[in-house]
Amino acid sequence: MKSAGSPPAAPDPVQTAAAQGKENRQTAAYEQAMNFVNQTTPLGSLTYTQLSPGNANTPPQWQSTVTLSPEGQKSFDLQQQVGTALNNLALKGTGQVTSALDKPQDYSGLPSVPSSLDLSGLPQIPAFDTSKLPSAQQSLDFSNLPAMTGIDLSKLGDMPAGLDLSSLGARPTANADVLKGAQDAAYSNATAILDPQWEKSQRNLETQLVNSGIARGTPAWDQAMSEFNQSKSSAYGAARNDAFNQGLAAESNQFGIENTAYNTGLNALQQQLADALGIRSQGLNEQETALDAAIKGRQQGMSEQQSQFNATNQARQNALAEMLTGIDVASGTRQQGLSEAEAQAAQAAAARQQGITESNYLRELPINEISALLNGGQVQFPQFGSTGNTQVQPVDIAGLINQNYNQRYQQYQQRLQQQNAMWGGLASLGGTLGSALILA
């Protein structure tokens, strides 16, 4: 059986770093050479030349050379000559500069500028003096006005509590006893008359029937007696109805008498209450009239004080307005004089500044002429365009080495797993064979 072997050795970091560094340097040198592109223009050319290829410790050395065109070179030579001549001319002018600088600036002949404005001739602004104004009334005095007493209900006496109906007794109602007594009396009076009449009529009827040959108990007899009893019942029914009506009339008459007496007493009580309320209302009206008069008098006094208050304050306001107007007029006149003085001072300052500017110009003129000679025409050198910045990524040597190591280590792990699986299968097979031999 073939063994899985030993695991692969890990990469040496020193060797890996050395290999990666060499690759980086080669890439940088190659990238530099790609970016050094020779250029040629109508005004000249740019050329790169390698002086040394370099080594592990020293980078490559290059030199760039700019060569002018024949016309440009000729212009450059002439410019050098002109510059030398201008410099000599400027050197001669340094004497004038020294003379100008040795002489101090003299501003004595220039217009003078006043150090301050002369405001003595301007009008003074009057002070804001409120003491000269009429006194202002600060508040209203109501102490002398009629007092407001209000309504005094205690002077009106006690308010009537209302109607006392206890003295009238109970209010009359329908009396069932009167009704029944009157009905019974009327019916008794009626029966006192009807009973003898109907007894006599019954005897006469029976005698008449006997005389007519109609025997008691016969149908004719019974028919005649039935008709008699019906007439009798009708008479007594009419008597009862009449007694009922007489009872109602008696009850109504009694109720009318009692109700009239009750209403008479009630009207007397109501009149007493109306008289008491009238006296109280009259007293209340008198107090309200007095209160209205006091209110009108107080309002009139307040109106008069308000008019006086307004007149006093208006007089003060008018005086204040006149004072402010005088201050505004004086301020305007003073401001106008101040503006004229400022304008004269500004004109003097401008004239002086103009003289200083002209003196400084004459002093600096020799210096500016020498500066102009020193800044003569310049030679136009060729302008070279950008060739681009080409970048090349170096090969990742360290990554490749580590990747190779990882691949070889994975292969070793696979072989080791296969070997372990094989040994495990053999061990399982040996156990099965041993068990079979024991059983045999």
Residues 6+ apart with CB under 8 A from 206: 216
The sheet with strand 44-52 has its strands ordered as 39-41, 44-52, 61-68
E strand segments, 38-175: 39-41, 44-52, 61-68
pLDDT for 191 beyond 80: yes
pLDDT for 211 beyond 90: yes
Per-residue model confidence (pLDDT) at position 330: 78
Closest CA to 278 of 370, 401, 156: 156
Question: pLDDT, tens digit, for every residue of 348-406?
Answer: 778 777 777 777 776 666 677 667 766 654 555 666 666 556 565 776 877 888 888 88
Per-residue model confidence (pLDDT) at position 385: 60
Per-residue model confidence (pLDDT) at position 233: 93
Question: pLDDT, tens digit, for every residue of 101-155?
Answer: 777 777 777 777 777 777 777 777 777 777 777 777 677 777 777 776 777 766 7
Domain ranges (residues) in the chain: 1-20+392-440, 130-360
Q: Select the more confidently predicted residue: 113 or 216.
A: 216
- Least confidently predicted of 127-131, 209-213, 283-287, 297-301: 127-131
Question: pLDDT, tens digit, for every residue of 13-38?
Answer: 878 887 887 788 878 877 777 787 88
Per-residue model confidence (pLDDT) at position 114: 73
Distance CA 10, CA 406 (A): 9
Backbone angles phi, psi at 24, to 5 degrees: -65, -45
Cβ contact 182:250 at 8 Å? yes
Per-residue model confidence (pLDDT) at position 353: 79
Per-residue model confidence (pLDDT) at position 161: 67
Per-residue model confidence (pLDDT) at position 180: 86
Kindly tell me the burial class for residue 196, based on how many C-beta atoms sit within 10 Å of its own C-beta (0-12, 13-18, 19 or more): exposed
Q: What number is the average pLDDT over the span 333-339? A: 79
User: Taking all residues of the chain, what is their mean pLDDT, rounded to a whole number?
Assistant: 78
Q: Select the more confidently predicted residue: 177 or 220.
A: 220
pLDDT band at 229 (very low <50, low <70, confident <90, very high): very high
Distance CA 140, CA 138 (A): 7
pLDDT for 230 beyond 90: yes
